[in-house]
Structure 1
Amino acid sequence: MADGMVFVPLCFLLVLGVPWRAASSHQVPVLLWSSESSLWVAQPSTHGGHVTTDLQLGQYLDSALSSGPKNVLMFLQEKLSIEDFTAFGGVYGNKQDSAFPNLENIMESSPSSLVLPCVDWYAANILPTYLKEKLGVSPLHVDQSTLLELRLNESIPSLLIVRLPYANSAGLLAAKDVLRANDEVIGQVLSTLKSEGVPYTALLTALRPSWVNRENDFSVGSFGRQLLAVERPNYPPLSFNGTQNRPCILFWASNITVLMMDREMDLTHNTFSGSEKITEGSFCNASEARLVLNYDRGVKIIFQFESKRYPVSARHWFTLKRVEMVNGTANATFLAPQISAPNNLSYHCTYVSSWPQYGSLLVQNSSSNWRLSIKDFQIQPFNVTGMKFSYASDCSGFFSPGIWMGLITTLLFVFILTYGLHMVMSLKTMDRFDDPKGPSISVPQNE
């Protein structure tokens, strides 16, 4: 394997054709490779469903642009999805039937390569503008014929963009033919650069996805009551064993994202990867519990719980007193007064976050711009029995906004109906009537 080669399990989609199901219909893949080695030291998060944001993509590109070649070649396809590599790639190393033989060989033989399967389509769309600002040059749209006429200089930055089409027909054969033709263009362009001995960094992405996930997606930031027994990744809950060598704290989340020192990090995989040192420094007893999550470079997240008995409910309740984020000597504290549940239950919430768009259950107790967001947060710091959570006390109230609207509308109609019935019931008939047989009223007229 070449020096500096960065491979993640999803990268083998290009070679092995392993089926992969995208987490959403709004992501596109980004493939990067370079003629120089050791450009990407930091390995991206590999857990299922991770979506690379514009900040994370910028970090990978910054490392390549700062120490790599100044000639950047961008293959911008009209539409592309990771499912294209699954459907039309070579199966188990068989490149004869693959629509990407050149691309697969390039990713295998390049000194440095990186595959980001799911990148926010917005981040991919602003790549030309981002690269223009970083390199300080205007992008030049080229094709194979114009590339032969160019004379690239190793010391002068350049940004070359090659536009690639996608099949307008919905048929799989038409799409595969177009992808194979695009792959040939990529192979020819890179052969031209290789023959001239020009060092380069190249990337392949698209403006929008070609495959649409037709399953119902829950919108981000939705706080409605959902089923707690949802499908989760394969990793089990994180547990901390107390003095009796049995679990006393259980924790689980589908995503943990932090923003420290203007750097956004996804810590989900590192949290549930099975490392024994991840909970070092945690403790638990009958009245207090502390869960410490330890990461590389001195990064820590600390959850501090306390348990009290409330006479009104005649039971013990636990409360999340504070959450601390530590990065070396710097730290930030978040208060969480709303996160509380009975001791014999676990606590669950779709979002426990300091971002306003996610509800701001975590209230920052300092003026720093650090942020913490945990999706599908579930924790049980007391009365843990085994490796399964007790029934969850959900942060969503039983009466959701929709239920309240229905109740108010129903009460309004009941009030109108009651008032109408009251008006009808209060009607009375006349107790005296004019006698039709009596003398008629005469009105004298003046002649």
Structure 2
Amino acid sequence: MATTGTLHLRSVSARLAVFLALLNALDSVNCDEQVPLILWTSAGVSRPSPSPPAAGHIVGQQQLSSYLETALSDGPRNVVLFLQDKMSIEDFTMYGGAFGNKQDTAFPNLEGALMSSSSPLVLPAVSWPASNTVIGQLQDQLETSPLYMDPETLSQLRLNASSPALLVFRLPYGIGADLMSAKEILSGNDEVIGQVLSTMKTQAVPYTAIYTALQPSREAASLSMEAGLGGGRSLLQAKGGYRERERERERQRRIKEKAGIYAPVEFKEDEETCILLWAKGLSVSILRSGRWEDHDLTLSTFGEGVSPKLHGSSCDKTRSKLVLNYENVLGHRSFKLIFAMSQRLYKVSARRWFTLDTVELEYDGTKAKFNGSRKVYAPAEYSYRCESVTNFRWPQLVPRTFNDPANQWRVSFEDFQIQGFNVSGSDFSYASDCAGFFSPGIWMGLMTSLLMVLVLTYGLHMIMQLRTMDRFDDPKGPAISVPQTE
């Protein structure tokens, strides 16, 4: 490696070492609560480098927004975001060759990109709730929707230096029984980074790259903390001992899990909420050249700091329509997801019911309609909830006609809940679940019980058909003779 790259990596390693020392010294700092963030620009792009935070300082949401705003105002507005599921600073100290063993590093492409950049920015400790809002902050500052991609489809996209773009690449993370599996996954992620940067280089478009994670990797952090504590002694039951720290970490984890439940999409008419929509997962797929291309809309619709565009939505006492507007979805610059609902009085049940009449995809002037009124319905005072709403697996949504463009699309809503009428405040009303009373488990139990009853009935019937003998052999009388000729 070049001398400048070695000095830069040594300075980063020194900064990380100081950071880890402060973690051991300060009781209030918990390494499980932060993730690192690395930002750099493409080769040949120079910009003023913002001053990094002091060692041990935790970057919050407001300060992170300031860093991103400074980087995007002075640097390229084509952003490549590598978003890993989990990552902690220990991943770099354990697998980055931080102790002189550079040939064994798991991040050769990342180090090469940092060396070629004129002003890289390394934030060792970013509050992981703040890192969850990176997509929302970038979306607001760039005024464009994120485009989730993979390295294979990136070559088909043509970028323009004058038009901002937000390209998101999701990277996995996991640790199995063998600790080396984490290094293999990180090495694979580094290869993806190298492949993406190579493709961006061929397009000759300047870009800003960011590498961070959604949450810390607890396994790596816990292992590093245990190794750091191994040199000293502490009473396990004493305050500040290992068990106390583990209990506190578990308590903080549960609090964060509860806080991670995001709010539903809310449409207001005259300052009053009239439509609510929530889903754990929302995705669409299109059939092209014999294969399905997927696009996840979850992070563009829900989450902290995400404000989906709802222009075109409307609601009244009998009809309501929720319109979710997106950009750059599966190659379509304009993409809309429309939920049309209605309610009316059914005389048989003597009450009002609402139905999800259609789910419509509108893209570049083309409309694909799915009919949902046959399966998706609930009393007008309730909300509708279902674990899975799709058009391809136990479909609740079906294309309107045989030739409808909807036959080339797949839509999937995981843990779906919607309410279009009689909304009180910002909370759903009582949910009418799509699961019927006779679930598959109940049917299996009933069939098994019926089979056992039939076997028992047959057995009792056979026992009742038994008849006693009408003649018996008396030992005191003459023996019964049975002629052999008969």
TM-score, normalised via structure 1 length: 0.51
**Deviation (angstroms), 1:294:** 1.7
Q: In 1, Cα distance between the equivalents of 2:446 and 2:177?
A: 50
1:403 paired with 2:434, answer no
The aligned residue for residue 334 of structure 1 is 370
The percentage of aligned residue pairs carrying the same residue is 40
Tell me the alpha carbon deviations over residues 339-390 of structure 1, each in whole angstroms, 9 at most, x when there is no partner: 1111222112222223x2x333221234432332222211011121122222
The aligned residue for residue 288 of structure 1 is 319
Q: Quote the RMSD (CA, aligned, Å).
A: 5.5
The aligned residue for residue 92 of structure 2 is 89
Q: Does structure 1 retain, via aligned residues, the 8 Å contact 2:301–2:308?
A: no
Give the counterpart letter for 2:321 in structure 1. R
Any idea what SS the aligned residue of 2:78 has?
coil
Tell me the alpha carbon deviations over residues 98-124 of structure 1, each in whole angstroms, 9 at most, x when there is no partner: 9889777655565599xxx9xxxxx89
Q: Does structure 2 retain, via aligned residues, the 8 Å contact 1:45–1:266?
A: no
Larger helix share, 1 or 2: 2
Any idea what SS the aligned residue of 2:309 has?
helix
Check 1:419–1:21 CA distance in 2 against 1; reply closer, same or farther (3 A cut): farther
**Deviation (angstroms), 1:322:** 0.7
Q: In 1, Cα distance between the equivalents of 2:377 and 2:352?
A: 11
The aligned residue for residue 43 of structure 2 is 35
Q: In 1, Cα distance between the equivalents of 2:341 and 2:482?
A: 96
Q: In 2, Cα distance between the equivalents of 1:276 and 1:39?
A: 24
Q: In 2, Cα distance between the equivalents of 1:241 and 1:275?
A: 16
Tell me the alpha carbon deviations over residues 148-192 of structure 1, each in whole angstroms, 9 at most, x when there is no partner: xxxxxxxxxxxxxxxxxxx999569x988xx99xx9xx9xxxxxx
1:272 paired with 2:302, answer yes
Check 1:413–1:322 CA distance in 2 against 1; reply closer, same or farther (3 A cut): same
1:359 paired with 2:394, answer yes
Tell me the alpha carbon deviations over residues 273-310 of structure 1, each in whole angstroms, 9 at most, x when there is no partner: 66667222222222211111122343211111111222
Check 1:42–1:318 CA distance in 2 against 1; reply closer, same or farther (3 A cut): farther
Q: Does structure 2 retain, via aligned residues, the 8 Å contact 1:344–1:383?
A: yes
1:237 paired with 2:264, answer yes
Which of 335, 341, 345 aligns to 2:382? It is: 345
The aligned residue for residue 247 of structure 1 is 273
Map residues 14-413 of structure 1 onto 2, 5 A cutoff. 19=32, 35=43, 41=78, 82-83=86-87, 85-89=88-92, 106=112, 108=114, 110-111=116-117, 170=178, 233-243=260-270, 245-259=271-285, 262=288, 264-272=294-302, 278-296=309-327, 297-336=333-372, 337-354=374-391, 356=392, 358-365=393-400, 366-368=403-405, 369-413=408-452
The aligned residue for residue 59 of structure 2 is none
Any idea what SS the aligned residue of 1:422 has?
helix
**Deviation (angstroms), 1:254:** 1.8
Q: In 1, Cα distance between the equivalents of 2:40 and 2:404?
A: 38
Give the counterpart letter for 1:312 in structure 2. V
**Deviation (angstroms), 1:393:** 2.0
Structure 1: 5+ residue runs without aligned partners? 1-13, 23-30, 50-81, 118-122, 135-166, 187-198, 204-210, 214-229
TM-score, normalised via structure 2 length: 0.48
Any idea what SS the aligned residue of 2:462 has?
helix
**Deviation (angstroms), 1:333:** 0.9
Q: Does structure 1 retain, via aligned residues, the 8 Å contact 2:41–2:76?
A: no
Q: Does structure 2 retain, via aligned residues, the 8 Å contact 1:45–1:269?
A: no
Q: In 2, Cα distance between the equivalents of 1:433 and 1:339?
A: 74
Q: Does structure 2 retain, via aligned residues, the 8 Å contact 1:324–1:333?
A: yes
Give the counterpart letter for 2:296 in structure 1. D
Check 1:407–1:440 CA distance in 2 against 1; reply closer, same or farther (3 A cut): closer
Q: In 2, Cα distance between the equivalents of 1:175 and 1:298?
A: 39
